[in-house]
């Protein structure tokens, strides 16, 4: 069976100007993922579960594993020298690596080091999301904010690691989506899902329905549409919500479905982060034949203005995303039903 390392080298031919640096960067992500996976699998045995006692820049409680994963991925990126800087959901500002080798790095990385970390305590799947761009600033100089504020369509690679019943690394470099499952007996990621394609129509919708009263009218009407009994259209659909974007998206990628985190009356800009969550998952979705939208426009066309910018988010099977966009366009956002 082909390993992730072998696959990366083979696909290096897709990027003749990369001279191995992107392959080395993906190799660093692979290493950090294995280190984080090891600690997650020991989470009930060592003192690494629960709150770290602080908050991240979004005011959310940081879990001990959030901090651990953040540090391990940063260290892996800096050690390899292909990345000149990193921006993380857990850090208020971007991190500019100071070494001479790092300043010569061609790439920057944005990441959510441990998506869904509040699920760790109850043994539910979590993940790491990453997004890679070519830097804009001159090679050899220090990385700048402009390097990180690039629209999603400029990504050159993106992916996630899901730490679940098995550990998988799923990524794209703009030539399809490929998944690798970690064989724990030998510590190697092996190709298990080549050229993944998302069904254009699914039967699963994923949303926190506990916020129903706060949703825009278009989303409320779409949920009623999903719940209607229409046998010839294979409705009603099934509700499945894990509370971890990586886990919900991974299921919908394989089976077909839609993940939604709309605006609410209390969060008019949405909750998910454009740069750390929305853009990388959107890149994967589009490469697999799906779609990602903020309800009105393509997610990857949005020009970011700040590191921790938020956005409403609808991602998944193309027909399902287009249907919720239709409902939203027909309704005023917070009109009483």
Taken in order of first residue, the domains within the chain and their CATH numbers are: 4-193 (3.30.540.10), 204-330 (3.40.190.80)
pLDDT of 215 strictly over 60: yes
241 is in an annotated binding site: yes
> What is the per-residue pLDDT across 299-319, written as a single tens digit (0 to 9) for each?
999 999 999 999 999 999 999
| Residue 118 in marked binding region | yes
Q: 119: annotated binding-site residue?
A: no
The mean pLDDT value for 223-233 works out to: 95
pLDDT of 59 > 70? The answer is no
Kindly state the tokens that stand for 300.
């990857």
- 164 in a known ligand binding site: no
The C-alpha atoms of residue 238 and residue 205 are separated, in whole angstroms, by: 6
| 309/123: higher pLDDT | 309
Residue 166 scores a pLDDT above 70 = yes
Q: 31 CB contacts (<8 Å, ≥6 apart)?
A: 76
Residues pairing with 109 in the sheet: 86, 132
Q: What is the pLDDT of residue 118?
A: 73
42 among the known binding-site residues? Answer: no
Is 147 annotated in a binding site? The answer is no
225 is in an annotated binding site: no
Cα-based distances in Å from 162 to 238, 242, 318 = 22, 13, 23
Tokens of 290: 């799906």
Sorting pLDDT into bands at 50, 70 and 90, what band is 80?
A: confident
């Amino acid at each position: 069976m082909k390993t992730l390392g072998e696959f990366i080298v083979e696909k290096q031919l897709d990027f003749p100007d990369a001279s191995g640096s992107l392959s080395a960067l993906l190799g660093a992500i692979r290493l950090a993922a294995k280190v984080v996976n090891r600690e997650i699998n020991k989470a009930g045995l060592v003192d690494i579960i629960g709150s770290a006692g602080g908050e991240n820049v979004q005011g959310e409680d940081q879990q001990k594993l959030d901090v651990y994963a953040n540090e391990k991925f940063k260290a892996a990126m800096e050690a390899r020298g292909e990345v000149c800087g990193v921006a993380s959901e857990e850090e208020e500002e971007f991190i500019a690596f100071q070494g001479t080798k790092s300043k010569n790095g061609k790439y920057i990385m944005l990441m959510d080091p441990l998506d869904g970390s509040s699920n760790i305590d109850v043994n539910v799947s979590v993940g790491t999301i990453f997004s890679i761009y070519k830097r804009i600033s001159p090679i050899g100089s220090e990385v700048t904010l402009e390097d990180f504020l690039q629209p999603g369509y400029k990504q050159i690679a993106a992916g996630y690691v899901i730490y679940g019943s098995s550990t998988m690394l799923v990524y794209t470099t703009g030539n399809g989506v490929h998944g690798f499952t970690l064989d724990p007996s030998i510590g190697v990621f092996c190709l298990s899902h080549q050229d993944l394609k998302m069904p254009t129509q699914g039967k699963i919708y994923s949303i926190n329905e506990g916020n129903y009263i706060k949703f825009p009218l278009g989303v409320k009407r779409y949920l009623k549409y999903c719940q209607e009994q229409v046998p010839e259209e294979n409705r009603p659909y099934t509700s499945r919500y894990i509370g971890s974007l990586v886990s919900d998206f991974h299921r919908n990628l394989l089976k077909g479905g839609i993940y939604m985190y709309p605006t609410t009356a209390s969060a008019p800009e949405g909750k998910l982060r454009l740069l750390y969550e929305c853009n990388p998952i959107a890149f994967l979705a589009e490469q697999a034949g799906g779609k990602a939208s903020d309800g009105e426009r393509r997610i990857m066309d949005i020009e970011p203005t700040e590191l921790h910018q938020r956005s409403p988010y609808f991602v998944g099977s193309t027909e399902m995303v287009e249907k919720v966009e239709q409902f939203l366009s027909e309704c005023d956002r917070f009109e009483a039903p």
